[in-house]
Amino acid sequence: MDKYNNNLEWRYATKKFDASKKISEGDLENLLEAIRLSPSSYGLQPYQVFVIKEPELREKLKPAAWNQSQITDASHLLIFANLKEIDKSYVDNYLDTIAETRNQPRQDLNGLEDMITNTVLNFSPEGKNKWATNQVYIALGNLLSAAANLKIDACPMEGFEATKFDEILGLNEKGLTTAVIATIGFRSSEDKHQYDTKVRKNKEELFNRL
């Protein structure tokens, strides 16, 4: 197995973190950069990520996450919140950013604008939400791989009540809603799950080679 896959084998959804161990600023920035560099549909990145260190805020969120200990024991809690609405002004702003970043005439992007207008901007509110959430999960996946690469532990988590998280974090006012969360830090030596053998479909079950 190559080093990358070895690290993926090493990682596991950490149930018990060592609360005394914290991620260094440098490693944290590397993890956040992996999230930032994540691809997204048309590059629209329809989400924001909240990086929470503050213990009091995490104590407040914990009951809304089935009291899972990772929320308070991990070094950091990350909230992946997707935009609830994608409108024309959001898209215009993005296209302006491309033109500016690449020093390109804005009208060169008319084709891309049409594509986005005919797809994403035409989705129903539910469709937009589903589309935005899909993009969030790519960023989550990148975080998990980047963390494994740095031998930093993580737990992706869907076990929480989004409406309560949104309320506590004031996300509604920002047009955002919690899609998924992740805790990152270092495993406790007492977490017996680190010794569990991985359960995955075998290649014959998973892949259809045509």
What's the rounded Cα separation, in Å, for the pair 123 and 7? 38
Cβ 6 to ligand FMN shortest distance, Å: 14
Residue closer to ligand FMN by CB (options 13, 19) is: 13
123 binds ligand FMN (CB under 6 A): no
**Residue from 63, 125, 127, 159 binding ligand FMN (CB under 6 A):** 159
- Look up residue 187 and give its DSSP letter: B
158 binds ligand FMN (CB under 6 A): yes
**Residue from 152, 155, 171, 176 binding ligand FMN (CB under 6 A):** 155
63 binds ligand FMN (CB under 6 A): no
Q: Which residue is nearest to ligand FMN (CB)?
A: 159
**Residue from 136, 157, 176, 179 binding ligand FMN (CB under 6 A):** 157
Residue closer to ligand FMN by CB (options 15, 76) is: 15
**Residue from 7, 12, 133, 145 binding ligand FMN (CB under 6 A):** 12
147 binds ligand FMN (CB under 6 A): no
Segment near ligand FMN (CB under 6 A), from 75-83, 95-103, 113-121, 152-160?
A: 152-160
Please name the helix (run of DSSP H) or strand (run of DSSP E) that holds residue 93, with its range, or none: helix 88-101
Count of residues that bind ligand FMN according to CB under 6 A: 11
| Cβ neighbours of residue 138 closer than 8 Å, sequence gap 6 or more | 38, 39, 40
Specify which residues 184 forms β-bridges with. 76, 154
User: What distance lies between CA 120 and its chain's CA centroid?
Assistant: 20
Tell me if 74 sits within 8 A of 23, measured CB to CB.
Answer: no
Segment near ligand FMN (CB under 6 A), from 44-52, 53-61, 154-162, 163-171?
A: 154-162
CA distances from 128 to 11, 98, 99, 110, 176 (A): 32, 22, 25, 21, 12
Q: Of 129, 141, 199, 137, which Cα lies nearest the Cα of 166?
A: 129
Q: Of 144, 116, 117, 129, which Cα lies nearest the Cα of 41?
A: 116
Q: Which parts of this chain interact with ligand FMN (CB under 6 A)?
A: 12-13, 15, 68, 155-159, 180, 198
